[in-house]
Structure 1
Amino acid sequence: MEEAQTLLSLQMLQEARKTVQRSTLQVIKTPLIHLPHGAIPMKINCNLYMKLENMQTTGSFKIRGVANQFSRRESGPFITMSAGNYGKAFAYASKHFGHQGKVLMADTAPASKTALIASYGVEVEQIPSKSLLPTVEQLVKDQKMIFLDPFDDIDLIAGHGSIGLEILEEIPNPDVVAVCCGGGGLLAGVAAAIKLSGCTTTNIYGVEPKEGSKSFQICSQHVKEILLVSDDEIKAAVSMLYKIGLVVEPSGAAAFAAIVGEKINLKGKTVVVLITGGNVSPEELCCIVH
């Protein structure tokens, strides 16, 4: 675990928090709202809070890591791989700072997402998913492009960690924090921020893992357990959140699904769950919410 400790320190997280706060990308301190018992159909009586990153600039937490990544690099051209929220945040930042950018997307990505990312002025190229990484490596070599990793980058992870520090400003010692995994960068950053701040009794749970190596090293030190939720459980969570007035994309509701699915012992505990994104089309939402 010593190697994981050297990857990310509390000082790095605090510096990243300041960078994110000062960024001209207008990253906001998102609301942390209390959900009274009875507001949703949960049998467990716990003190439940939701951190609403679906209300963040570009509609997800990704802009936090992107803000820190861009602050550490003077100029492009930059290249990344993403068909989702990271690609949107990357494109938004590239346009804002006037950097040349390119986003590689799998040829199976929806046309709507391709068009959205391209609308920010970055070049978008769709290729077979198996060719994404080799193409990035070739462009980095031949055209001297700078690769920004969408999930397994220390600057990115530290930027995401700003969420953990924000949570502790309002709830100094939560019993449980539940975080969607995705690529592992968010979970690693939030978990490190909370544990390195001295919250030794806080249990941090990840939901739906697919982690990179740096993220995995950090998560393995600070995360208690990885939980799995089904597609049906996630859809039910999206529907439940919609009915209390929150528009949340399926991947952004995974941690909430684990909470309402009672996959953790929460009775009498103070619980924080991250709602990570709200980039869902009306058509997709109509198929989920009943």
Structure 2
Amino acid sequence: MKLTTVEDVRAAAERIRDTAVRTPLLPCDWADTDRPLWLKPENLQPIGAFKIRGAANAIARIPEADRANGVVAYSSGNHAQAVAYVAKRFGLPAVIVVPENTPATKIDATRGHGAEVVVVPITDREIVAERLVAQRGATLVPPFDHLDVIAGQGTIGLEIVEDLADVDVVLVPVSGGGLASGVATAVKGLRPDAAVIGVEPALAGDAAESLAAGHRVEWSAHDRARTIADGLRAAPSDLTFAHLLARLDGIVTVTEDQIRDAVATLATRARLVAEPSGAVTTAAYLHRAADLPRGRTVAVVSGGNLDRDLLASLLVTPDTRTS
């Protein structure tokens, strides 16, 4: 199976230069002195999440002759917004299929970028998307199971090493695996001694179980939907799992309470609004230190799209929560 290369990531960086923001590394003065921490705030992207990188690279690679028929995507929210935003910049029609448990703020934002949104049961996303592709002659832009998408997400790793050449540890969220695949490709290709560690919710810990077993272990969509981290409810594909197996140095899981604590910590100490999915790496840094390598650490904050009411509830201290 062909895997993404560092050269693919470098080419993607050139294609997305005018679409995605080159986010900074933010040092954290509240971190442990023997584990300096920098945050990579992808919540500062125009659509509030890293997904714009992969969408921009994939859409830029669509042949000119195929663009008039537009694009189709399926997503729980952030990829939906990314494809809608990039398609609008390219002047292409976009149809986005989302599951019925997608947060309203993400659906509204997707429609706000001019895309048509189709809401379906959680298990029907891919089936409906494929049907729309066949009906309209459109191009499918999958959320992670695509080499161009993986290369686009890998530009995050490229920037990390460019900005912190002696990075020791990179923490990256894992869901479908496109982000972790791309980041690991770039980081391990440019700094082989650095450890790239995946992080996922324990309630959606299929990738951790799969890596431990050495083969993909299937969890049901309903089981993965239990986590508050709605952007991390997908399962790795054969393509992304091959990348994870070859290039990740390990994976840890975090609990729902640890994720909630990390959202509050990022808001109050780093002044960053992070959705639960974007906070899992900080949760691992704060609560799974014993299971992580030491040294200069970068945590990828993958997104910041969440409902106002959810943010308010996550900022409530644990001893005053009612649920």
TM-aligned CA deviation for residue 7 of structure 1:
2.0
Instruction: Determine which of 7, 12, 15 is the counterpart of 2:3.
Output: 7
CA contact (8 A) 1:249 1:278 kept: yes
Q: Relative to structure 1, is the Cα distance of residues 225 and 141 closer, same or farther in structure 2, using a 3 angstrom cutoff?
A: same
CA contact (8 A) 1:45 1:266 kept: no
The CA distance in 2 between the partners of 1:130 and 1:266, in whole Å, is 37
> Any idea what SS the aligned residue of 2:160 has?
helix
Write out aligned runs for 1:223-262 (5 A).
223-244=248-269, 245-261=271-287, 262=289
Question: Residue type matched to 1:207 in 2?
Answer: V
Q: Cα offset for 1:253?
A: 0.5
Structure 1: 5+ residue runs without aligned partners? none
- Between the aligned partners of 1:118 and 1:105, the Cα distance in structure 2 is 12
Q: TM-score, normalised by structure 1?
A: 0.90
Distance of 1:178 and 1:285 partners within structure 2:
23
State the match for 2:149 in structure 1. Answer: 156
Give the 5 Å matches for 1:134-213.
134-197=127-190, 199-208=191-200, 209=207, 210-213=235-238
Q: Deviations for 1:203-245, whole angstroms, at most 9, x for unmatched residues?
A: 1100114312211111111101111111110000001111111
Matches for 1:50-89 after TM superposition, within 5 Å: 50-73=39-62, 74=64, 75=67, 76-89=69-82
What is the alpha-carbon distance in structure 2 between the residues aligned to residue 145 and residue 133 of structure 1? 14
Q: 2:28 — aligned with what?
A: 35
CA distance in structure 1 between the aligned counterparts of 2:290 and 2:79, rounded to whole angstroms:
28
Q: Aligned residue for 2:306?
A: 280
Deviations 1:160-195 (A, max 9, x none): 111111111121132111001121100000000011
Q: Aligned with 2:95: secondary structure? A: strand
Q: Supply the distance in 2 between the matched residues of 1:145 and 1:18 (Cα, whole angstroms).
A: 25
The match for 1:271 is 297
Structure 2 counterpart of 1:82, which letter? Answer: S
Aligned-residue Cα RMSD (Å) equals 1.6
CA displacement at 1:142 relative to structure 2: 3.0
Structure 2 counterpart of 1:157, which letter?
Answer: I
Question: C-alpha distance in 1, partners of 2:9/2:92?
Answer: 25
Q: Distance in 2 between matches of 1:70 and 1:213?
A: 22
What's the CA shift for 1:51?
0.9
Residue 204 of structure 2 corresponds to which residue in structure 1? none
Indicate conservation of the 8 Å contact 2:77/2:103, yes or no. no
CA deviation vs aligned residue, 1:229-277 (integer Å, no higher than 9, x gap): 111100000011111111111100001101111253444x111111111
In structure 2, relative to structure 1, the CA distance for the partners of 1:120 and 1:165 (3 Å cut) is: same
Q: TM-score, normalised by structure 2?
A: 0.82
Which whole-Å CA distance do the structure 1 matches of 2:103 and 2:296 have between them?
39
In structure 2, distance between residues paired with 1:132 and 1:263: 38
Over 3 Å counting, the alpha-carbon distance change for 1:101 and 1:239 in structure 2 is same
Q: Give the letter for the 2:58 counterpart.
A: Q
Which residue number corresponds to residue 128 of structure 1?
Answer: 121
1:35-55: CA deviation from partner (whole Å, max 9, x where unpaired): 12xx15x5x731211111111
CA contact (8 A) 1:20 1:162 kept: no
- Structure 2, unaligned runs of 5 or more: 201-206, 208-234, 317-323
Please state how far the C-alpha of 1:139 moved relative to its aligned partner: 2.3
Deviations 1:43-86 (A, max 9, x none): x7312111111112211111111110111013132111113111
**How many correspondences in the alignment?**
277
Q: Is the 8 A contact 1:29 1:166 kept in 2?
A: yes
Query: SS of the counterpart of 2:243?
Result: helix
